[in-house]
Amino acid sequence: MKTGGNNRLLKDATREQIMARMMDRMSATQQRYYQIKQEQKLGELKSEMDD
């Protein structure tokens, strides 16, 4: 199970690094749009989990 947890952590870290690079290349407007969309998605997921 430890290997599975390590793989998940590695995938999460890699995903975060990729997103950080992408955010660096975005304009302020693009970054804000992305943040708003992420907040909407998180809200939808939370709503689904609450049902």
- pLDDT for the residue 4: 76
One digit per residue, the tens of pLDDT, for the chain of length 51 reads 577 778 888 898 899 899 889 989 999 999 999 999 999 999 999 998 887
- pLDDT for the residue 51: 78
Distances (CA, A) of 5 to 12, 14, 15, 17, 18: 11, 14, 15, 18, 20
- pLDDT for the residue 43: 94
> Helices (DSSP H) in 1-51: which residue ranges?
2-25, 28-50
- pLDDT for the residue 3: 76
- pLDDT for the residue 21: 92
